Structure 1
Amino acid sequence: MNIVVWNENRHEKTNETVASIYPDGIHGAIASFLKEAGHDVTTATLDEPEHGLTKELLEKTDVLIWWGHMAHGEVQDDIVERTRQRVLDGMGLIVLHSAHFSKIFKSLMGTGCDLKWRESNDKERVWNVDPSHPIARGIGEYFEIGKEEMYGEHFDIPAPDELIFVSWFTGGEVFRSGATFKRGRGKIFYFRPGHETYPTYHQEEVQQVIKNAAEWAQNQGTPKHTYGNFQPVEQG
């Protein structure tokens, strides 16, 4: 499938720790394991013209993966609307970590998408609460991330269509860390792990979840419905 990995690509330019962990950018690291899985992968970043998300690129994109953190407000509203419409038309969307505050996710959720957070080397235990779901394929009862930023409830999102993962942190907090939503003809998956100063996207289980999610989010020929004034199906 055609996958686009979008990333602000700002931390990598200003933070030596991030640059050492992700020398090709967070987008490069994610694109690498998706390419190894056999997908056609393109990357796009904030500072490119149209943020790299041209109408032509989005039209041929099956799944868009979005990572953002420090520059949500710099994303142009017309690009957000262009992307939102593609999701409604059937493009899959995977929203990672701090992109919970991205304009595209908030516009599709219709809520504030706020949460508790703490950057303090917490261990995260990610529990698989829907083991039969395709996104959980190859994932056991749980997996652990040795050091991560804590996200805690309440997570201000609509009730998910499906809850796949729930995280526990050493500070005692819990979080809905893997959740699906449907909007129009498109499917959306939010996945919590991935703070920029930790090598989370190099971890096998995290990569497996993202690969599974991309396959799940790809549109499988969902029919297009007509709207507005409609002539009778039955005649006479």
Structure 2
Amino acid sequence: MDSPIKVTVWNEFVHERTMEDVKKLYPAGIHAVLADYLNKAGMEAVTATLDQPEHGLTDEVLDRTEVLIWWGHMHHHEVDDEIVEKVRRKVLAGMGLIVLHSGHNSKIFKRLLGSDCRLKWRESGDAERLWVVKPGHPIAAGVGDYIDLEHEEMYGEIFDIPDPDELIFVSWFSGGEVFRSGCTFTRGKGKILYFRPGHETYPTYYNEKIIRVIQNGVKWARPIEISPIVFGHVEAGGVGQTHPK
């Protein structure tokens, strides 16, 4: 029997303490809501926030983390570059990464994708329908044909990202825009999922199907055993590294 997946949910945890409408929705923080759902699903989820020493992402925390979930918005610039580099190296070594909503503009997502990750946006309470365009994918398991959200912040194309390995969800908004809302990438040994929904002023993270996707994403992104990757000069037969390049 597999051991429980060890997850760390990272969140700025600023809006929930400074904006009353957000505080009412997520009084203990978005990270606490997500971690609670994951723990109830049999995973071992802990949380980390921007204001903690090393943003809560100490070596000890990262060493026990199999999948890191990242929610950020207005304070991306406050995340220390050294912490970003530590997380990047962990992803390349196999740690899964799930980037939610406005985490598209986080340092870690942009550094791993090598792009500015810009997009169009509008905060006007649009209705959103997320269409499942890869129904056989494990991330979409149990979701059905689509997910309806009564109100969400609109994100629209063009989304300045590299072509994803897989496109799982495409959103349509009541203003007419469309958006690639569920994209997967691989960097080194690590799997990355970008999942768009989750604006802080809407109860998106109480939606059962949204939570199902995140839980599915954690299972999908969990590291698998891969033989060590050897770079640099090797002898005939591929054995033995003599010097790196």
Same fold (TM over 0.5): yes
Q: What is the SS of the residue equivalent to 1:125?
A: strand
Change in Cα spacing, 1:231 to 1:2, as seen in structure 2 (3 Å) is same
Distance, in Å, in 2 between the alignment partners of 1:225 and 1:24 is 41
| 1:197 is aligned to 2:204 | no
Q: What is the SS of the residue equivalent to 1:111?
A: coil
Equivalences, count: 235
1:114 equivalent in structure 2: 118
Distance, in Å, in 1 between the alignment partners of 2:220 and 2:227 is 17
2:89 equivalent in structure 1: 85
Distance, in Å, in 1 between the alignment partners of 2:190 and 2:237 is 27
Q: What is the SS of the residue equivalent to 2:212?
A: helix
2:243 equivalent in structure 1: none
User: Aligned Cα RMSD in Å?
Assistant: 1.0
Pick from 56, 59, 65: which aligns with 1:55? 59
Pick from 138, 144, 147: which aligns with 1:140? 144
TM-score (norm 1): 0.98
1:178 equivalent in structure 2: 182
Change in Cα spacing, 1:149 to 1:234, as seen in structure 2 (3 Å) is closer
Q: What is the SS of the residue equivalent to 1:66?
A: strand
Distance, in Å, in 1 between the alignment partners of 2:102 and 2:195 is 10
Q: Which amino acid aligns with 2:105?
A: F
Deviations 1:63-114 (A, max 9, x none): 0000000100000000000000000000000000000000000000101100
TM-score (norm 2): 0.95
Instruction: Summarize the alignment of residues 1-80 of structure 1 with structure 2, pairs less than 5 Å apart.
Output: 1-80=5-84
Distance, in Å, in 2 between the alignment partners of 1:64 and 1:223 is 22
CA shift, 1:222, in A, is 2.1
Distance, in Å, in 1 between the alignment partners of 2:66 and 2:56 is 16
1:124 equivalent in structure 2: 128
Pick from 67, 84, 94: which aligns with 2:98? 94
Distance, in Å, in 2 between the alignment partners of 1:82 and 1:218 is 18
| 1:220 is aligned to 2:231 | no
- Work out the percentage of aligned pairs sharing the same amino acid: 60
Give structure 1 stretches of 5+ with no counterpart: none
Q: What is the SS of the residue equivalent to 2:194?
A: strand
CA shift, 1:205, in A, is 0.5
